[in-house]
Amino acid sequence: MLSGAGAWRCFLLSVLLLNLSATASGRLISNILNPILSSLGLNSQSTKNTVAPSQYNVVTTPKNTVAPSQSNTDPTKKNFTFPEDFYFAAATAAYQAEGGWNADGKGPNIWDTLTHNHPDYISDFSNGDVAADSYHKYTEDIKLLKDIGVQFYRFSISWSRILPKGSVAAINQAGVDYYNNIINGLLAVGIQPMVTMYHWDLPQPLQDIGGWANDSIADFFKDYARLLYRFFGDRVKWWIPINEPFMIANGYSECRGKAPSLCQPGTADYLAARTMLLAHAKAYHVYHNDFRDTQAGKVSTSFSIDWHEPRTNSTADILAAERAVQFELGMFAHPIYSTSGDYPPEVRARVDNNSRAEGYNTSRLPKFTQEEIDYIKGTWDFFALNHYTTYWAQDGLQGPDPSRQRDSGVMKSQDPSCPETSSPWFRVVPWGFRKILRWVKKEYNNPPIFITESGYSDDGRLQDTGRIKYYVDYIRELLKAKYEDGCQIIGYTAWSLIDNFQWEEGYESKFGLVYVNFSDPARTRIIKQSARLYSEIIRTRKVPDRYPQYSYDTQECHPTIPL
């Protein structure tokens, strides 16, 4: 029989367990119980790992090390484990990491042009001319990947390093050799390459004829994709034709932002969207028709999407949040993954109606022919998703007129109670990750999802506790989406392997698992504490129990609509 104190403890624990699924009233109970539980020593937390970092001394992760499988399918467990066939990866992108901007025959791209001609567009007036110098230090990066223990390395090929003028008429063999060396080096240590064909760095000669706003670029891209399959497809089995078409389109609407900063909102960005969807489909069909039988790989474009939570629980804000997701993700995913194809109906209707009201003879959002709709639809092998943060969405007009943001009828803002990062656009909102995964499952009939980017920005510190907490909380939300919500999630990619050039933020924001000293010509690399944490997750196939669970039952940074 329990003593009086023991019975009292059991009673309190029972109440606390009932309280876990409560809403506002439950939080009130929790606030009352916490001091009592504290006095009984029931809410103590383990201290975090504080081992000092040093260079290259992460223990190599044994392969096929899997935690006991019984917790894989038990929804009552808080800390699920990953199955043996779940993939872990780290990523970089060519312009952000390689440097060697004009080395060995590489041609100029739109980010070379932007940063050289308009350094004031970058917060610290920097550029990617040298970046992390991965062009010369790729063997060191491969060693880091091996030490951390990832199964995949996602990197991008610089189009202008392979084709300096953008067309297959002039091939730069030095560029081909460079990427062959990376691919062979990865495979030699048991790491699979996941290759992005285009990560924002269009060859400048192609931008000179209009860039993605010119639909002929889709055929240039088709030829480029065919070349990559021919050169590397015998060893590369995972392909991402285009990374984040939504963000690329922003470069055609923004005036002082992403390259090419064309400053034509609501027109050029829609033209670019159409071209990119056709380019993706062409790259997919080339592979499917001419290479799949012999190479047996997978092809899917990678989408960026922030979750959008209604600012209030009003019907207007709930509908606005859905529109925000459709305008950012649905505009590019619906034509590929839906059974009907084409743009989401509400996106089409709103842009058409606004265009008519503005006096345009035709919609600012170009129409696909039925043949094009059918050609784009179904061009996927998995769902590649990049996610970082969550915004509030409120019904209303925001942005220039015309613009895609104004067409959506959504006012976006950030919840100031959510933890900040070093990036002004980015707050830490773990539950938003789970919500967008559930949305994709419902909207597109539960496709297999590979998280191709997820990460945290800070000032580059080695003891990066903020990044550790980010990965702990976001990966746990992924596990809940997988096991409690039934989402088919097959892989997770940490962005990024190393600190690099972070677009408009220059070198002021650092996303790396590995520190890079940009003041040192040698670009010295040092493992951060977060790399140790990620390595441990990969090795044990779970998030360590010593980190406290993230709680939705808080007065701050919680969802408007409960999960």
Cα–Cα distance, 18 to 359 (Å, whole number): 58
Q: 98 Cβ partners below 8 Å, 6+ apart?
A: 128, 131, 132, 133, 134, 135, 158, 161
Concatenating the DSSP letter of every residue in 69-109 gives: GGGGS-TT-SS-B--TT-EEEEE--HHHHT--TTGGGPPPB
Does 140 qualify as catalytic in the annotation? no
Angstrom CA distances, 331 to 13, 121, 258, 305, stand at: 47, 28, 20, 11
The Cα-based distances of 87 to 41, 303, 345, 349, 445 in angstroms read 38, 19, 35, 40, 22
Q: Quote the radius of gyration of the chain (alpha carbons, Å).
A: 24
Residues 406/399, Cβ–Cβ less than 8 Å: yes
SS (H, E, C) 133-191: CHHHHHHHHHHHHHHHCCCEEEEECCHHHHCCCCCCCCCCHHHHHHHHHHHHHHHHCCC
Q: How many Cα neighbours within 13 Å face the side chain of 116?
A: 11
Is 162 in contact with 224 (CB distance < 8 Å)? yes
Separation between Cα atoms, residue 512 and residue 490, nearest integer Å: 23
CA gap 431, 473 in Å, rounded: 9
Residue 71's φ and ψ, nearest 5 degrees, are -85, -5
The catalytic position among 98, 140, 244, 328 is 244
Select from 302, 494, 316 the least CA-distant residue to 397. Answer: 316
Using CA atoms, how far apart are residues 111 and 503, in angstroms rounded to an integer?
A: 9
Quote the Cα angle for 533-534-538, to 5°: 120
Confirm if 176 and 133 have CB atoms less than 8 A apart: no
Question: What distance in Å separates the CA atoms of residue 240 and residue 283, rounded to the nearest whole number?
Answer: 10
**Distance of alpha carbon 329 from alpha carbon 284, whole angstroms:** 19
Q: Catalytic residue at 453?
A: yes
521 burial level (CB within 10 Å; 0-12, 13-18, 19+): exposed
Integer CA distances (angstroms), 404 to 102, 265, 323, 524, in order: 35, 7, 11, 42
Check if the beta carbon of residue 535 is closer than 8 Å to that of residue 59. Answer: yes
CA torsion sign, 246 to 249 to 250 to 253? negative
The 10 Å Cβ neighbour count of residue 318 is: 18
Q: Check 453, 477, 504, 505 and give the catalytic one.
A: 453
Q: How far apart are CA 139 and CA 424, in angstroms?
A: 33
Enzyme catalytic residues: 244, 453
